[in-house]
Each structure stands twice: as C-alpha cells, then as structure tokens.
Amino acid sequence: MRIGIDIKQIYRVIWQGPVILLAAVIISLLSNAIRPTSLPLVADWSVQGRMTTERDEPLSIALSAAKNLFEKKEAVFIDARDSIQYGEGHIQGARNLPWHNVDDLFMSVMQDISHDTPIITYCDGETCNLSHDLALFLKDMGFAHVNVLVNGWTLWIENGLPTQEGE
C-alpha cells in the first residue's frame, strides 16, 4: 500500500480542470446560438435599459426631453410617491397617483386626461420602481404615450427645474 502524492495525478488534474471548463463554455455558447430564443450575451443592464414594457418597448425618457415637454406644457407629470413625499415637494404641476393607492385614486386623478396625452411618471431614486410599475399600469389602462423619468425627482431638483410644495 502506497500512501503519498503522485505528481502525475496532480499534473493531470491541473490540465484537465481548465480543459473541462473550456469545453463547458464552448458547449454552452453553441447551445445558446442554436436556440430559437437565444439569450443575449451582452445587454444594457442599466436602470434605463431595463425600463421596458413586456414587448421590450423603452419606457425611460431623458431629462432633456421631459424638460422640453414640461416647458411646452405637452405632457402630464405624475408622481408615483406617497402623498407625504408629494406634499414635501414635487415637479410643478404634477399630479399625485401613489402606486400603493392606484386602485382607489386612479379615476379621480386620471379622469380628465386623454388616452393620447403624453404622460411622464417619476419617483425618487435610481432603484425606485414605483414610477415603472405605474407606467406599466397606465399603459394597461389604455394610455398610449407613457414614459418614466428615472430618478426623476432628484434629477429635477439637481437641475434647478420648477418645483412646488403642498397639494
């Protein structure tokens, strides 16, 4: 009975490990390539890039475009945050439709808005999903032109754009 380390076995493990790993990567890439619904190898995983509808239509809008619509009074801005945060400050003229109360407040907030009116939803923080969820809901309710201003409240303030407090 021999106890000890066989150098040949160690060398075999050292070169076989990377070869097996390389083979697995090649098989995975080939399998993905021949799939009818292959997964993208490179994608935009930024918050704006992930801001899409179920049909992969982009929802996010740039601050410059939102500002332009605001100045021309061509869009309705909707704050998805709760009423307390809205009362502490919001985009001038924005309506408040808190995502957590959307079922109760939808009719009263949206009754006079045409389904063709451009709507921009926003909340605060790059990872805030309230505005995205609200935008998808509004799309489902038949509003055709809905966009999300990602990190909208912070961007609006940082750029010195018009705000107001209270209801």
Q: Does domain 47-164 have CATH number 3.40.250.10?
A: yes
Q: Specify the pLDDT at position 6.
A: 79
Tokens coding 167: 């209801």
Residue 4 has pLDDT above 70, yes or no: no
Q: Specify the pLDDT at position 89.
A: 96
The Cα–Cα gap between 161 and 65 comes to 13
Q: Tell me the pTM.
A: 0.70
Q: Predicted confidence band at 59 (pLDDT cuts at 50, 70, 90)? A: confident
The Cα–Cα gap between 123 and 113 comes to 20
CA atoms within a 13 Å half-sphere pointing along the CA-CB vector of 60? 15
Q: Which residue has the tokens 């505005």?
A: 131
- Cβ neighbour number for residue 149 with a 10 Å cutoff: 26
Q: Specify the pLDDT at position 52.
A: 59
The Cα–Cα gap between 36 and 75 comes to 40
Q: Specify the pLDDT at position 155.
A: 95
Burial 68-103 (b: 16+ CB within 10 A, else e): ebbeeeebbbbbbbeeebbeebbbeebbbbbbeebe
User: What does the pLDDT look like over 88-123, one tens digit per residue?
Assistant: 999 999 999 999 999 999 999 999 999 999 999 999
Residue 133 has pLDDT above 80, yes or no: yes
